[in-house]
Structure 1
Amino acid sequence: MVEENKENPESLSRRKFIRNTGYTVGGLAIGGVIGSILPLGTAKKHKEEKAANFNQALMYFTPEQFRVVDAATERIFPKDDHGPGAKELGVAFFIDHQLAGEWGFNGREYMQAPFFQGEKVQGYQGRLKRRDIFDIAIREIQNHSKDVYKKDFTALKGEEQDAILRDFEENKVNITTISPSGFFQMLRSVTLEGAYSDPLYGGNKNMDGWKMKNYPGSQMAYANIIDKKFKKVKPQSLQNHMNH
């Protein structure tokens, strides 16, 4: 009997990240959207483009899953007169990275049976990991979009995408494996986290989420301005401190 090759899922995620960020063409590393989403043959056409942010490479999502989440988060946190939306902030990359790590594995939570229907204040009380919930939900978003509009979710108009997401929020989608509204609330929460988290984790690109809120980010100290009246300071990421 041949023994199955059971490898740690976290090792597989790490290997996928290294693979996605490690493509090199003509001496230039192809990362970000080019290296992780486009096929290798297509990436060769972009050999002159350098990845500005290697943190924007897929670690968990397939390209199709990424596009669905990218579109859905933009409807939850859209671009407007105040600043960029989720797409420009890289929120889908933040979610991808979170699912590849402990958050996606529910690594710090008790996940053993028996499972009971919990109260709303207790949060999620099931056996599925967050990455499993996202896998199912993304597939069901596509299925629901095709049932209602005969198109993929990413091909829908903005108001049509809103209607699909609203059906999930209001539990109007017939899914037995997960709670549609539970997934929507999870997606909404992690979208906001991605918009305002430290850029080190993949979202809040260029600290634009913080800039919209005049949030100073990860300042080392305020000793030089503590005795002054309100002063607007340039936001700092953890990456800035690591590079010094």
Structure 2
Amino acid sequence: MSDTRDQHPRRDFLLRSLAAGASAASLPLTSATAAPTPTPAAAPAGYLWLRPDEQVFVEALVNHMCPADGVTPDGVTLGLAVFYDRALGGNWGQGDRLYLQGPFKQGSANQGYQLGMTPAQLFRAGTEGVADYCRATHGKPFDRLPADVREALLKDLQSGKAALPNGVPSAVYFAQLLQMFYEAMFADPIYGGNQDKQGWKLVGYPGVNTANKVNIVKYANKPYRPEPAGIADLS
């Protein structure tokens, strides 16, 4: 998670990742008889699912992985923590499409997710485990650790070296945190993250621009930095 090539290591990390999770949308019908498209309801403000201690952890996490610099604001300002909240509290987080009847046995890596927990349950248990680990190892919560200690802890979670006290597999837990970070950074803004389409602008992604196929030809071998369009822009 570190790079010494320039003064924005994590920004360069994001540019290399390009894990855009944007959804496609189609243009509404436009005719004299077509009914007007209703204006989408504004998303509720604040957190809906995360507990207060989880809110603090996620905000510290996304700000560590996406610190403010001259390219974008910090992760909280970009709405990344809100994305975590909405995703975990929604259908995906609640495991609506997961088979959870068991039996659950130790599987190999190529078999994919094998735990008998929904993504939300894994997040909650893993975050509790990290809190206990931080108190036992460092005497303070994750959000109060120095940046270098946070970095080392995240690497230990990723490698599975950090054994969480409650038995949650740290590498699986971290993999979910990281995948959600990618999605929060690059998914359509209607899901809470990527505010002002900053993630798309960072990598030059046009969003759901329906003319992009033509522009690929039009701007061949030329700089192409479009103003990205999101689903809400076409609603």
- On the 8 A contact 1:65/1:138 being kept in 2, the answer is yes
Cα deviations by residue, 1:19-68 (Å, 9 ceiling, x for unpaired): xxxxxxxxxxxxxxxxxxxxxxxxxxxxxxxxxx7455212101221110
Q: Which structure carries more relative contact order (alpha carbon 8 Å, separation 6+)? A: 2
Task: Report whether the alignment pairs 1:237 with 2:230.
Answer: yes
Which residue does 2:206 correspond to in 1?
216
1:104 match: secondary structure? coil
Q: In structure 2, what is the Cα distance between the partners aligned to 1:107 and 1:191? A: 21
- On the 8 A contact 2:132/2:165 being kept in 1, the answer is no
User: Which of 191, 195, 201 matches 2:181?
Assistant: 191
Q: In structure 1, what is the Cα distance between the partners aligned to 2:187 and 2:233? A: 14
Q: In structure 1, what is the Cα distance between the partners aligned to 2:128 and 2:120? A: 12
Give the gaps of 5 or more residues in structure 1: 1-52
Task: Kindly state the Cα deviation for residue 109 of structure 1 after the two structures are TM-superposed.
Answer: 1.9
Cα deviations by residue, 1:96-147 (Å, 9 ceiling, x for unpaired): 1011111111211222111111111222112111111111111122111111
Which residue does 1:122 correspond to in 2?
111
Q: Where is the helix percentage greater, Structure 1 or Structure 2?
A: 1
Distance verdict in 2 for CA 1:236–1:55, change over 3 Å: farther
Cα deviations by residue, 1:204-223 (Å, 9 ceiling, x for unpaired): 01100001011111113348
Distance verdict in 2 for CA 1:130–1:169, change over 3 Å: same
Cα deviations by residue, 1:57-94 (Å, 9 ceiling, x for unpaired): 21210122111012113323334444334223211111
Give the gaps of 5 or more residues in structure 2: 1-41
- On the 8 A contact 2:104/2:116 being kept in 1, the answer is yes
- On the 8 A contact 1:86/1:191 being kept in 2, the answer is no
2:76 match: secondary structure? helix
Task: Kindly state the Cα deviation for residue 227 of structure 1 after the two structures are TM-superposed.
Answer: 6.1
Opposite residue 234 of structure 1, the aligned amino acid is E
- 1:1-244 equivalences under 5 Å are 54=43, 56-171=45-160, 172-222=162-212, 225=215, 228-229=218-219, 230=222, 231-242=224-235
Runs of 4+ displaced beyond 6 Å: none
Opposite residue 204 of structure 1, the aligned amino acid is N
